[in-house]
Amino acid sequence: MTDLSGRTALVTGGAQGLGEGMARALAAAGAKVAVADLKDDQGTKVAESIGGAFVHLDVTDDASWETAAAAAVDALGGLDILVNNAGVEITSLVTELDPNDVRKMLEVNVLGTALGLKHGLRTMRPDGAAGNGGVIVNVASVAATIAFPGISVYSATKSAVDRLTRVAAMESGKLGYGVRVNCVYPGLVPTEMGAGLANDVAQLGLFESPEAAVGGVVELTPSGRLGTVEDMADAVVFLASDQAKFINGVGLPVDGGMGM
């Protein structure tokens, strides 16, 4: 078991799905965890169940990030790990794109991650409120590496997360922040978002049924199955740990080989 005892972590989108799983895994590894989300009731329940703290956060709002980062440092006594997990996926054919849906994905997935990097680095760097360096793990997607139909804009936003990760890692190193920055590319996981995608691509006529969509994903995956929340959470815990202390500025596929 990777030991994160004495570490402190903030997980965005931590009230459900992958974020909840990541928050629970970090806590199980010994970290004190702040769950950040717009869903106050759900987020508070998750935080209480792992002995952590809840902070309200709109990832698209700069002032909300500033408040949440300060609240996390106050509640946890520092900040060593930030997981930028919050994201949205809205399925559409390219010919039917709704500009409002595009803006929402850009705001949450790209702007939200960028602001997380901004405030995570400011908090962890030597002159920051925590000031001890640390680790940032961004959550991209296998969608950044493959051409899966129906998710063009989502794929583009997750490709952007990859680029943000690499530039932030370089800046952190050049400026002596002491913060490693990596990202993970999760494969399809049967969370609410994953199930919604399967239903959506079937409704668009891209697959005969949601089950056929899932089967198509499994067929493309050498490991022969969908990923689990635990698979993704384990990868985040690893990247956050000293076992990954010389891994920096990379994207780690956690997709069973789907995107190779």
> Which residues are known catalytic residues?
154
Considering only CA atoms, which of 244, 239, 257, 251 is closest in space to residue 22? 239
**Using CA atoms, how far apart are residues 53 and 46, in angstroms rounded to an integer?**
9
Q: Angle at Cα 179 formed by Cα 60 and Cα 58, nearest 5°?
A: 15
**Do the Cβ atoms of 48 and 24 come closer than 8 Å?**
no
Token pair for 60? 């698209």
Helix (H, G, I), strand (E, B) or coil at 52: coil
Between the alpha carbon of residue 228 and those of residues 71, 90, 198, 235, the distances in Å are 31, 21, 16, 11
Residues with Cβ < 8 Å from 60, sequence gap 6 or more?
Answer: 107, 108, 111, 112, 115
Give 196-240 as a DSSP string.
Answer: HHHHHHHHTTSSSSHHHHHHHHHHT-TT-S---HHHHHHHHHHHH
What does the buried/exposed string (b/e) look like for 191-200 if buried means 16 or more CB atoms within 10 Å of the residue's CB? beebeebbeb
Residues with Cβ < 8 Å from 186, sequence gap 6 or more?
Answer: 18, 139, 140, 141, 142, 227, 231, 232, 254, 255
